[in-house]
Structure formats: C-alpha cells, structure tokens
Amino acid sequence: MNGIKYGVFTEKSVWLWLENNQYTSNVESGLTRTEIKHWVELFFGVKVIAMNSYRVKGKGRRIRPILGHTTHYKRMIITLQPGYSIPPLSYIR
C-alpha cells in the first residue's frame, strides 16, 4: 500500500462518501488506474465499480529571491459497489 499516500477529508469528499459510496485519496503520481484498483480490492477486500483520477498541480512558492513550487500529485476518487465500504480511519497515516 505504498502507492496510496493518505485519504482526503474535505467537505466535498465527505459528501461523496456519505451520498455515493465514493472514497477520495492522494496516490503516487506514477501509478496507473488499474494498479490502484487492484491494490484497493486486494488490501480492503472490496469491489471497485469506477475510478476517476486527476493530477493536482503544485502551487508556486517563493523563498526570498528563489522561485519554486510544491510537488504535483494525483488524486483518485474510487466508487465502490453498494454494500461494500472502507473504514475511513483505516487508510489515514
């Protein structure tokens, strides 16, 4: 489970979890959707219906004269079949 960094708990992600049985988490940017689907099904013992992913661009940062940016990362929204669930605190680090 090194690919899944941590679960995302924002207002939107909690609403998706309660209403649509969807879970949001940040993952390593080099992983594919099929790899993440396989890991989630194997580790949590659930059935995944669909996965949506998007790349979140890092924000610009300035430390006096040096311009830089934070790292980019990938976010996955995983939809589970009805009747399956992931305990929300099981994938928080």
User: What would the pLDDT profile of 60-73 be if each residue is shown by its tens digit?
Assistant: 999 889 999 888 88
Segments forming the whole domain that contains residue 15: 4-83
Q: Establish if 92 belongs to a structural domain.
A: no
What CATH number is associated with residue 42? 3.30.70.330
Q: Establish if 49 belongs to a structural domain.
A: yes
Contact between residue 1 and residue 44 where contact means Cβ atoms under 8 Å apart: no
Q: Establish if 41 belongs to a structural domain.
A: yes
CA distance 49 to 23: 12
User: What would the pLDDT profile of 38-92 be if each residue is shown by its tens digit?
Assistant: 988 888 899 999 999 999 888 999 988 999 988 888 999 999 999 998 876 555 5
Q: Establish if 44 belongs to a structural domain.
A: yes
Q: Establish if 89 belongs to a structural domain.
A: no
Q: Which amino acid is at 24?
A: T
Q: Establish if 90 belongs to a structural domain.
A: no
Contact between residue 37 and residue 51 where contact means Cβ atoms under 8 Å apart: yes
Q: Establish if 77 belongs to a structural domain.
A: yes
The maximal CA–CA distance of the chain, rounded, in angstroms, is 54
Neighbours of 49 (CB within 10 A): 14
Q: How many domains does the chain have?
A: 1
Which pTM was predicted?
Answer: 0.79
Q: Establish if 91 belongs to a structural domain.
A: no
